[in-house]
Amino acid sequence: MDVEETRLPGIGLRHDLVTAQGRRVGIISQRNGARHVVLYDERDPDATAATIELTAEESEVVAELLGAPRITERLSRLREQVESLATEGIPIEPGSPYVAATLGDAAIRTRTGASVVAVVRGEQMIASPTPDFRFHAEDRLVVVGTSDGVAAVGALLNPR
């Protein structure tokens, strides 16, 4: 799928794409975090049929809803392409010393060589958590690395 990117000086960026059904959709990303979803007129691709403004928080929720299945799909494809790659969902058990710690505090990548690519919290998937992401008991970390690295993450987070 082709995505056109257009710089909007003083505003931000606009990304446009055409869906499989031939509808042209745009996303305007403003510097202040606001996003506008633009649905172009079917008869005149330069005219706007509808625009929806989303706050930064709303945009994040929509991105998570649309992006979570894609991350899972990409991990599956990546695992098929790289034989030695291991992926596992590792829970933060209630007694873990990392309950309420941040991803940065845990230094998982530095200590194990494996990476946390997402965190599942209840029904929510948080993709690409940042170093200030704080763990809760029963979060499930989606970890990618070698088999030894992934096992080391489990031992680090939930020592016995």
Q: Can you give the CATH number for the domain in which 135 is found?
A: 3.30.70.1450
* pLDDT bucket at 71, cuts 50 / 70 / 90: low
Instruction: Answer yes or no: do 98 and 78 share one domain.
Output: no
Domain end (from 27, 54, 82)? 82
CA angle 2, 129, 88 (to 5 degrees): 90
The structure tokens listed for 136 are 């809760």
Helix spans in 16-141 (H):
56-81, 103-106, 108-112
Domain end (from 82, 111, 140)? 82
Instruction: Answer yes or no: do 15 and 78 share one domain.
Output: yes
Instruction: Answer yes or no: do 76 and 94 share one domain.
Output: no
The count of structural domains within the chain is 2
Domain that includes residue 151, residue range: 85-157
* pLDDT bucket at 91, cuts 50 / 70 / 90: very high
Q: Residue 80: how many CB atoms within 10 A of its CB? A: 9
Cβ neighbours of residue 109 under 8 Å, at least 6 residues apart? 115, 116
* pLDDT bucket at 148, cuts 50 / 70 / 90: very high
- Tell me which range, 39-48, 58-67, 69-78, 98-107, is most confidently predicted by mean pLDDT: 98-107
Instruction: Answer yes or no: do 78 and 90 share one domain.
Output: no
- pTM (predicted TM-score): 0.54
For the chain, the average pLDDT equals: 87
CA distances from 22 to 6, 27, 84, 96 (A): 20, 16, 40, 50
